[in-house]
Structure 1
Amino acid sequence: MSTDQVPTPHATAEQVEAAWKDPKLANVLYHDWEAGTYDEKWSISYDERCIDYAAGRFRIAAPWDGRPYEHAVELGCGTGFFLLNLMQAGVATRGSVTDLSPGMVAAALRNAEHLGLPVDGKVSDAETIAYPDESFDLVVGHAVLHHIPDVEQAFREVLRVLRPGGRFVFAGEPTTIGDRYARTLSQLTWKAATTITKLPPLQGWRRPQAELDESSRAAALESVVDIHTFDPADLEAMATRAGAREVRASTEELTAAMLGWPVRTFEAAVPPGRLGWNWAMFAYHSWQRLSALDAVLGRVVPRRFFYNALITGVKPR
């Protein structure tokens, strides 16, 4: 990792206070804090389950003939979930990861090394990507655009680092309507879980109070780091104004999101490992069934009502 920046996994109250006025600092502090437990929190793995998920999102967003892109970069890589699983699916041969958070870049590189994947990484702002012009054949990102203050500038940077004819694919972006019901369901679930587990018979299901307090303090920054929600048509317009061609936004997850967000919130409220493998399989298979239902609903329900937005486009040749 070509950076001398040191992760800040435990933000002080003073740092959190400063972050309220600085969305980029908030992103660094929030994601450095999450880096060590992010994969567990979001049930991220690098096996068949998440390989299929990542490749599935890619195919929903963009046409792909099965041939690998030579060199891909992920913006806002987190722990590397999207790019590393896409590489395992054969979408890209070589990879690079970038993130504002030094902790996340370090986690992504550790995961890549463990998987034996050829990946380098840099701490980098998506509005000024730290790679030369025409460096990549593919730019990807998952749940990153809504953290970037100037999304249109990020699209311009994406096109700068792409080679002519190169493609970008971003997935996991919250729609404006979807974000409203997802946040409401998450808040209700967190309140219920942290209240019920105070009862003596259920205290074994309660995380230590210090962890809950730290979680609440850092999670409060979500209102700063989650800058945008998107109407799919507006997202298409931004990418087109930046100079992209063949731009297309699609959406997914309606009923699946209504289950998924309470499930993820409950998982975050209980001690790590308490729910076990059977719970993980229940959550995953339930999501699969509801996603199949959503695919049918997508024929009649306007795309803006679904939770996840995906967008793709190409750099003109």
Structure 2
Amino acid sequence: MSTDPAPNPHATAEQVEAARHDPKLANVLYHDWEAGSYDDKWSISYDERCVSYAADRFRLVAGDTGWPYERALELGCGTGFFLLNLMQAGAATKGSVTDLSPGMVQAALRNAKGLGLDVDGRVADAERIPYDDDSFDLVVGHAVLHHIPDVEGALREVLRVLEPGGRFVFAGEPTMIGDFYARRLGALTWKATTTITKLPALQGWRRPQTELDESSRAAALEALVDIHTFDPADLEAMARRAGAPDARVATEEFAAAMLGWPVRTFEAAVPPGKLGMGWAMFAYRSWQRLSWLDQNLLSRVVPRAWFYNALITGTKPVR
């Protein structure tokens, strides 16, 4: 029988206030709150689209030499997006998912079961990973490091549970400059959408006020759980201090982020299902084209710190 705590899907105003002084509590409350709708909110799937996305992020920073890894661990798994799609791509054969949020661990295990993947899971703190030394040959995470109070301590834990020669790959981490413009684009889009849809002719595009209020409370929690942004050079140095002398950072999404953040915010501000598949394909293909532009042209002339996403990899030294 599992001893993991039960999810708490709806934080009270009092709990949100308490979370202002406790970033780990904020992470649990926010991610339990979002667990049931997280895949829809972020357009997460477990089909070829997201399998390719996850595999491409991994290859961008670490290549695919050594595939498949025998045993992989995901920190801050959320609904399992990164590890489950990597497993489907052939990166690993057996997986373990961990998250501070019980709701997210449950969602990830449901998704793994539905996909027929060999995955177990535990509620766990990334600063105190509950596995023995040398337990895994791959540790991954997506958009998790910026939620962890002690990032360097968590990276030391990652290296502890890795076998000698084992690799870690973390993707989807916000850069300082990228976060600055992304948040402002998102806030402007939310204000514009929720204001315009008050007009009588556009009321059908407005989510009920109770849902908008709940989204605003969730956003208040989200502001608390996003603890860090990263300078790529500083993140590399942090990982090297933690014990990975070959750590390196790549970045991606500049033009793509300028589109992606307004698109995702707009999708969250209108009723679910209102936009349809045509919109989804337009958004995805536009993001693909801008990502191509970022990778093949802008990455040659734009400083890496200006891109939105940082990805980091390194290995545990062989004794």
Give the TM-score of the pair, scaled to structure 1.
0.98
1:214 maps to what in 2? 214
1:186 maps to what in 2? 186
2:24 maps to what in 1? 24
Deviations, residues 268-312 of structure 1 (Å, cap 9, x unaligned): 111111111111111110000000110111011110000000000
1:283 counterpart letter in structure 2:
A
Instruction: State the distance in 2 between where 1:224 and 1:99 align.
Output: 17
CA apart distance, 1:66: 6.1
CA apart distance, 1:200: 1.3
Instruction: State the distance in 1 between where 2:118 and 2:203 align.
Output: 44
1:147 counterpart letter in structure 2:
H
Does structure 2 conserve the Cα–Cα contact (< 8 Å) formed by 1:99 and 1:122? yes
- 3-state SS in 1 of match to 2:301: coil
2:313 counterpart letter in structure 1:
T
Unaligned runs of 5+ in 1: none
1:287 maps to what in 2? 287
CA apart distance, 1:223: 2.1
1:99 maps to what in 2? 99
Please give the residue correspondences for 1:195-274 in structure 2 after superposition, counting only pairs within 5 Å. 195-274=195-274
2:305 maps to what in 1? 304
- 3-state SS in 2 of match to 1:121: strand
| Greater alpha carbon shift after TM alignment, 242-251 vs 78-87 | 242-251
- 3-state SS in 2 of match to 1:120: strand
2:317 maps to what in 1? 316
Instruction: State the distance in 1 between where 2:62 and 2:72 align.
Output: 15
Does structure 2 conserve the Cα–Cα contact (< 8 Å) formed by 1:71 and 1:92? yes
1:160 maps to what in 2? 160
2:151 counterpart letter in structure 1:
V
1:141 maps to what in 2? 141
Please give the residue correspondences for 1:34-183 in structure 2 after superposition, counting only pairs within 5 Å. 34-65=34-65, 67-183=67-183
Aligned pair count reads 317
Does structure 2 conserve the Cα–Cα contact (< 8 Å) formed by 1:66 and 1:90? no
| Greater alpha carbon shift after TM alignment, 1-10 vs 114-123 | 1-10
Unaligned runs of 5+ in 2: none
- 3-state SS in 1 of match to 2:25: helix
- 3-state SS in 1 of match to 2:46: coil
- 3-state SS in 1 of match to 2:167: strand
Does structure 2 conserve the Cα–Cα contact (< 8 Å) formed by 1:73 and 1:139? yes
CA apart distance, 1:245: 2.8
Does structure 2 conserve the Cα–Cα contact (< 8 Å) formed by 1:3 and 1:123? no
Does structure 2 conserve the Cα–Cα contact (< 8 Å) formed by 1:176 and 1:231? yes
- 3-state SS in 2 of match to 1:245: coil
Does structure 1 conserve the Cα–Cα contact (< 8 Å) formed by 2:4 and 2:122? no
1:305 counterpart letter in structure 2:
W
Instruction: State the distance in 2 between where 1:51 and 1:277 align.
Output: 19
Instruction: State the distance in 2 between where 1:3 and 1:172 align.
Output: 30
* Percentage of identical aligned residues: 80
Instruction: State the distance in 2 between where 1:2 and 1:265 align.
Output: 36
Instruction: State the distance in 2 between where 1:78 and 1:61 align.
Output: 21
1:8 maps to what in 2? 8
Structure 1 moving runs of 4+ over 2 Å: 1-4
Instruction: State the distance in 1 between where 2:255 and 2:18 align.
Output: 38
